Structure 1
Amino acid sequence: MDNLSKIKHIICIASGKGGVGKSTTAVNLAVALQQQGFRVGLLDADIYGPSQPTMLGVASGTRPEIVDKKYMRPILACGLETNSMGYLVEGSTAMVWRAPMIVGAFNQMLKFTLWSELDYLLIDMPPGTGDIQLSLSQSVSLTGAVIVTTPQDVALLDARKGIEMFRKVDVPLLGVVENMGIHICSNCGHAEAIFGEGGGEQLAQDYGVHVIGSLPLDLSIREHTDAGTPILVSRPDGDVARAYHKLAQRLVAQVTEMDAARQTAPTISVSDD
């Protein structure tokens, strides 16, 4: 049974380093796509530090239903089909595994989850450029990758490494998301670029892609994901929710443009004449 053949688009949400808000971006982007009418799945591929069950408000101890002693039914949360190592082990369990075990667990969650006919499956990748990234790019036909970074110089350096890795394995880059950009003081309204500014735009220009999302540094984003109520669910009409919806719209536009380019590409046939 090929559970991935029913999925129209598989997209990696990746970062060069941890701490840039990649998982928060992934869950809110997934919810934004779902609220815009798409059928969406979310796979938490961070085997060592799964965070999506907490961010989605899934009760501790929730386990996927096992079918035929092999397949897993995805857990439904916030309108999404989800799976995560966080559903399979206790929260305090340390995953002291070597690379082959990590890759094996990831491939099992990806290919043996009973995903339905999804428009988008977002994969929240672990940070860096390691075994899971290589395994995924070599075994699955990916629509593309989205790189999440902050404007900070150190984060941008590592984001470049992530982009270079995806280029080497021929995974298209759909765009850059600059996270934790402008912070607006809740008391006085003063706007400040705490982590710098313009870095994401420069990164995108260097690689010939677009900044498809510019997200604020806002306390409410962290508060709501920690509480298991993504801000698009708890405050769907706020400015922050609108920023995520704009990101989702731009991502869909990039995917649509890429699909159109593939359909109009010339075909070459070879004969014996």
Structure 2
Amino acid sequence: MAECSDDHPITMTGSDGKPSDMYAENDLSHVKHVIGIVSGKGGVGKSMVTGILATNLMRAGYRVGILDADITGPSIPKMFGMSGKHATGIGNLLLPNVSKHAIKVMSANLVLKNESDPVIWRGPVLAGAIRQFWSETSWGSIDYLLVDMPPGTGDVALTVFKSLPIEGVVIVSSPQDLARMIVGKAVRMAQIMDIPVLGLIENMSYATCPDCGKKIEIFGKSHVDETAAEYDIPVLGRLPIDPAIAAAVDDGSFEDNLPEGLLPQAVELLTQMPEPASPSSDS
């Protein structure tokens, strides 16, 4: 199994002839679309949104992978029933673990001896892990690689934006007033990195009363529409607080027990993305 190193990004030349920090894709990976799932802070359910989008894309017949770039707080493997499992290798490349329903996952928890071990790595080592999860992992042919980004706008998020071919990002937020400022940080970082913001998803938006069906806004009135309008981005959905989903995350049965019909606008937007241009034969 490969060990994470202090390697820096491979310096390549972009189409404009200028140096690029983009990591190279290996010959055993053919990824059509790379989408980042981001949040301006932790604890808003970014990983759960990643899991919902991945599962619904899989149910729609697409080949899906998840690159868990939340190196210090990985939760994707547990969600997809991979607790205690480890990545394997082929030659010099890592092989992602494959879930019950064929979603491929690469995460720090799959290369640690014990999934409960803390990840106490400095920035260059974290960047090296991102490189390995992209350039040194055999993803095979997949339609969508969802990148579960680290929360905030720090070094690892910057590395992902600079080094992976991210086509666009989906921002995840929560109902609190503070969320508007946090969303603004995520939007501005994407703008600085010249990456399109595909839309905003509000998690923990409400809870449904089991007796009367009334929607209860536990964290106060939603401001998702105003926040989206302020930054001129679409709202892609509101997710409820659902104990059944939380239980499926905890016991690793997410793919089997995720309710149908969550985030249809976000899924439709992703499935309507144009096919990437083929490499020019004149290069």
TM-score (norm 2): 0.83
Residue ranges of structure 1 left out of the alignment (5+ in a row): 264-273
**Counterpart Cα distance in 1 of 2:270 and 2:181:** 23
Residue 25 (1) aligns with residue 49 (2): yes
Task: State whether structure 2 residue 104 is matched by structure 1 residue 85.
Answer: no
How far 1:250 moved relative to its partner?
A: 3.3
Deviations 1:166-188 (A, max 9, x none): 11010110111111112101233
Is 1:252 aligned to 2:271, yes or no?
yes
Higher helix proportion (structure 1 or 2): 1
1:107 equivalent to 2:131? Answer yes
- State the distance in 2 between where 1:160 and 1:46 align: 20
1:110 aligned partner, one-letter code: W
- The count of corresponding residues between Structure 1 and Structure 2 is 252
Shift of 1:2: 2.6
Letter paired with 2:33: H
Q: How far did 1:189 drift?
A: 2.2
Please show how residues 1-273 of structure 1 align to structure 2 within 5 Å: 2-3=25-26, 6-60=30-84, 62-68=85-91, 70-77=92-99, 78-89=101-112, 90-230=114-254, 232-235=255-258, 238=259, 241-253=260-272, 255-256=273-274
Mapped partners of 1:65, 1:217: distance in 2: 36
Distance 2:82 2:266 in 1: 25
What's 2:13 paired with?
none
State the TM-score, normalized to the length of structure 1.
0.86
Q: Is the 8 A contact 1:3 1:111 kept in 2?
A: yes
SS in 2 for 1:118: strand
Percent of matched pairs sharing the same residue: 37
User: Which amino acid letter does the alignment assign opposite residue 58 of structure 2?
Assistant: Q
Distance 1:71 1:151 in 2: 42
Partners of 2:31 and 2:54 in 1: CA distance: 15
- C-alpha spacing 1:3/1:185, structure 2 compared with 1 (3 Å): farther
Q: Which amino acid in 2 is paired with 1:124?
A: D
Instruction: Write the letter of the residue equivalent to 2:69.
Output: A
Q: 1:92 deviation in Å?
A: 2.1
How far does residue 246 in structure 1 lie from its aligned partner after superposition?
4.3
Equivalent AA in structure 2 for residue 73 of structure 1: L
Q: Is the 8 A contact 1:20 1:155 kept in 2?
A: no
Indicate conservation of the 8 Å contact 1:29/1:245, yes or no: no
1: CA distance, partners of 2:150 / 2:51: 14
| 1:192-229 deviation line (CA, Å, top 9, x unaligned) | 11123342222211222211122112111111111111
Kindly indicate whether the alpha-carbon contact (under 8 Å) linking 1:40 and 1:81 is maintained by their aligned counterparts in 2.
yes
Q: In structure 2, list runs of 5 or more residues that go unmatched.
A: 1-23, 279-283
Q: Distance in 1 between matches of 2:47 and 2:61?
A: 22
What stretches of structure 1 move > 4 A for 4+ residues in a row?
none
